[in-house]
Structure 1
Amino acid sequence: MHLALSSSKSPTQQLLQSADLVSQGAEAAIYKAYLRHFPASGQAKNAGVDGAAFEALEPVLLKYRFHKHYRHPTLDASLTRQRIAGEARALMRCMRSGVTVPGIRMMDVNEGVLGIEWIDGECVRQLLPGGAELEGISEPEDMGEMDENDAADPIADYGVSQDALMDMIGAEIAKMHLADVIHGDLTTSNMMLRKKTSDLVLIDFGLAYHSTLVEDKAVDLYVLERAFASTHPDSEPLFAGVLGAYEKRMGKYWLPIRKRLDDVRLRGRKRSMVG
């Protein structure tokens, strides 16, 4: 599916027009597109051919924050620019701190488009028990005839164990929090395992912001804990593994966050009881 645009198109609009729609949300649409890359002139000269012969296409993910007609145009444009720039800043801060996130490929704040590296892999939610069923992914027809011990483990296809995956999640979140970046929407849907390298990639920083507050980091963890509980059955050992790796990476900064996490959990339980 392609985006229909007016006859007078900017380069970003042309890129959107050639892209394929992946998903549509209330705030943004996600597209897969391709950017052309050319080598440096010296590389082409050394090869003895025209640089165009080296043209390569790189897949990119485009997040398009479309116009909201219910908002005043000036306010809408300002909010869109702020959110695109804010997401890009969070990604850059993460990259500088060694957090594994998609690289930025292009940005057009006026058009509301952020282009990032396309991650060839699978969402962690689909790799853990319960997640695939909630996503509507059906099991193979002959699965019922297989012995339980013979059932395929999707994580094993990446060459890592479930425990190792939890360690990776905890370590990446810790690196992010040490950089004072709050994700704002930590779920297993916003994590991917890359196929070629089997590394964990944190994605979707649309709600991310910068904060040094212990409270914000504890709430980030609590959001992930609730996501595990609501999506993956018997998830307590899984999240305990995440926290174990997080604690190890955070070092001396872990104790105040742990105390605040306990407070956040208590507040969450009280809200649940009140309804």
Structure 2
Amino acid sequence: MLSSSSSKPPTQQLLQSADLISQGAEAKVYKAYLRQVSTSCLGPDHGAVLEALEPVLLKYRFHKHYRHPSLDASLTRQRIAGEARALMRCMRSGVAVPGIRMVDVNEGVLGIEWIDGKSVRQLLPGGAELEDISELEEADEMDEIHENGAADPIADYGVSRDALMVMIGVEIAKMHLADIIHGDLTTSNMMLRKQTNDLVLIDFGLAYHSTLVEDKAVDLYVLERAFASTHPDSEPLFAGVLSAYEKRMRKHWLPIKKRLDDVRLRGRKRSMVG
């Protein structure tokens, strides 16, 4: 339990007690535990009752020493607040995203629900994760299963690959209908939850609000390239994603499809030019 006598802010105390999961150029990711507080059940002193510990994921945007301190603090606050706003907008629109557990813009920490499950990247062939050794070992085991023709690991979640692609398309469509652009759509940023077999979109660090067809088309193109570069023979898989996306978007689909074709053409031209 955190010491109340400590002079450090509570968020810093929480980070000290947490386990580091991964580190990128912009942030460190930790697993920590928060006590759930129940106000529906009052104790003898009529106060809130502390219940079981709940696992949470802490995203800590650490200080960048190469930036001026005031600029660094301002950018950190904007990015933490922006990610929290994107998650809130998604939740209000019924998009499956992690719940928010805490926000500390001054310390640069966003605490969200811990999703117990595996990333879509881990569950599909060729999707060896590179973030840390334990995930890499798990993904290598998954690839062995795929190569040896053993049972599909997705079957452990009670869904088929086709059904999983439909789930991906539907969640992205709901997000785009809410005018949220993810900014980093990859199969690493989608998780299949163990308890309910729900697909959850994660990591909204680059997300932003936009009504532009171009931005939604680029979001889809980024995912298409992620499928192609990570998962072999993935064209039918991504086609399933687009089919479900189209059905959910309805009248909004045609302009996005046209712009997606344009984005693909620009991408091919850039590849040819080098």
Partner-residue secondary structure (3-state), 1:139: helix
Number of aligned positions between the proteins: 262
Q: Distance in 1 between matches of 2:216 and 2:229?
A: 20
Partner-residue secondary structure (3-state), 1:132: coil
The code of the aligned residue for 2:83 comes to: E
Residue 258 in 1 paired to residue 257 in 2? yes
| Cα distance change, pair 212–52 in 1 and its aligned pair in 2 (3 A) | closer
Identity fraction in percent: 84
| Cα distance change, pair 71–53 in 1 and its aligned pair in 2 (3 A) | closer
The answer on whether the counterparts of 1:44 and 1:54 sit within 8 Å (CA) in structure 2 is no
The code of the aligned residue for 1:43 comes to: C
After superposition, residues 29-178 of structure 1 pair within 5 angstroms as 29-40=28-39, 43-45=41-43, 55-132=51-128, 135=136, 137-139=139-141, 148=149, 151-178=150-177
Of the structure 1 ranges 131-140 and 73-82, higher mean CA displacement relative to structure 2 is found in: 131-140
The code of the aligned residue for 1:56 comes to: A
| Cα distance change, pair 39–221 in 1 and its aligned pair in 2 (3 A) | same
Partner-residue secondary structure (3-state), 2:253: helix
The answer on whether the counterparts of 1:39 and 1:51 sit within 8 Å (CA) in structure 2 is no
User: Once the two structures are superposed, what CA deviation does each residue of 1:201-225 show, in whole Å capped at 9, x if it has no partner?
Assistant: 0000000000000000000000000
Counterpart in the other structure of 1:180: 179
Partner-residue secondary structure (3-state), 1:138: helix
What displacement does 1:50 show?
8.7
User: Once the two structures are superposed, what CA deviation does each residue of 1:149-185 show, in whole Å capped at 9, x if it has no partner?
Assistant: xx02110000000000000000000000000000000
Counterpart in the other structure of 1:13: 12
User: Once the two structures are superposed, what CA deviation does each residue of 1:97-120 show, in whole Å capped at 9, x if it has no partner?
Assistant: 000000000000000000000000
The answer on whether the counterparts of 2:100 and 2:112 sit within 8 Å (CA) in structure 1 is yes
| Cα distance change, pair 143–86 in 1 and its aligned pair in 2 (3 A) | closer
Q: Distance in 1 between matches of 2:145 and 2:261?
A: 41
Gaps of 5+ in 1: 1-6
Partner-residue secondary structure (3-state), 1:207: coil
Q: Which runs of 4+ in 1 moved over 2 A?
A: 48-55, 132-140
Q: Distance in 2 between matches of 1:218 and 1:51?
A: 51
Q: Distance in 1 between matches of 2:15 and 2:257?
A: 44
Q: Distance in 1 between matches of 2:95 and 2:76?
A: 25
Q: Distance in 2 between matches of 1:160 and 1:60?
A: 26
TM-score (norm 1): 0.90
Partner-residue secondary structure (3-state), 2:259: helix
Gaps of 5+ in 2: 1-5, 131-135
The code of the aligned residue for 1:127 comes to: L
TM-align CA RMSD: 2.1
| Cα distance change, pair 168–19 in 1 and its aligned pair in 2 (3 A) | same
Partner-residue secondary structure (3-state), 2:95: coil
